[in-house]
Amino acid sequence: MELVVDLEGIVITLKESENLDHFSVSISEPVTATQRSHAHRFADVVAARHLGVVDEHGDLALNPQILRFLAAGEVEDAWEERFDVMLKEAGKEGRIDPEGRLRTHVMWPGE
């Protein structure tokens, strides 16, 4: 599953929502964006869309409800159960913060 963030159009999309074996967040636009050049823009989009919070390293602590919302109508009924298992595994790996958000690295264009 991949959460794709378009910083120009402020569009958030979910790709491969059925694939719960892998989760990533990537920036799609602008293609010249780097963490250094667009970190503030990314933080603004995250805040405006209530996605979660960006930490001091530029990683995202994502509200899992966003993924549920974006996947709704796109996935099979068993998805929710599988998603809960994915979150539990992420917790065991230390990727769930104290507020229950999924911590993940953000991939910028060209990375």
What is the pTM assigned to this prediction? Answer: 0.92
For residue 110, pLDDT beyond 90: no
Query: What is the C-alpha separation between 86 and 81, in angstroms, rounded?
Result: 9
At 63, the amino acid letter reads N
Which of 3-7, 65-69, 84-88, 107-111 bottoms out in mean pLDDT, i.e. has the lowest? Answer: 107-111
Q: Per residue in 53-74, pLDDT tens?
A: 999 999 999 999 999 999 999 9
For residue 26, pLDDT beyond 90: yes
pLDDT value for 25: 97
Q: If you write DSSP's letter for every residue of 18-75 in order, what string do you get? A: T--S--EEEEEESTT--HHHHHHHHHHHHHHTT-EEE-TTS-EEE-HHHHHHHHTTTS
